Amino acid sequence: LAKTTQPISMDSYEGQEVNITCSHNNIATNDYITWYQQFPSQGPRFIIQGYKTKVTNEVASLFIPADRKSSTLSLPRVSLSDTAVYYCLVGDGKMTGGFKTIFGAGTRLFVKA
């Protein structure tokens, strides 16, 4: 399993763009990069997934450089409701049993008014 490293916490203000970077130096060829968001007292929910270059959906963008050793989740124009914990996960499950999904500590994003 590729280990991921991301900042413990970040602060931002409403309306700003927030970029959270995740390092995954040991990413394997078959690994995808997936980001989840978790609000207090709720389970995480999927935000975005990518393999290379850039992926964009209605919520966020995911930037992956050519070497894939890191990735950046970009949240455009954050609001107070984006205050949450964001998790970066790497893997594809091609191992015994498959899809052993490990969450790290995540990044606590606090958006201020």
Partner 1 sequence: DAGITQSPRHKVTETGTPVTLRCHQTENHRYMYWYRQDPGHGLRLIHYSYGVKDTDKGEVSDGYSVSRSKTEDFLLTLESATSSQTSVYFCAIRVRSGRDTGELFFGEGSRLTVL
Minimum CB distance to partner 1, residue 10 (Å) = 15
The site map against partner 1 for 41-70 (x = CB under 8 A) is xxxxxx--x-x-------------------
Closest CA to 36 of 94, 68, 84, 1: 84
Please give the backbone phi and psi of residue 25, each rounded to the nearest 5 degrees, phi first: -65, -30
Minimum CB distance to partner 1, residue 73 (Å) = 15
Q: Which residues contribute to the site for partner 1 (CB under 8 A)? A: 32, 34, 36, 41-46, 49, 51, 85, 87, 91-93, 96-106
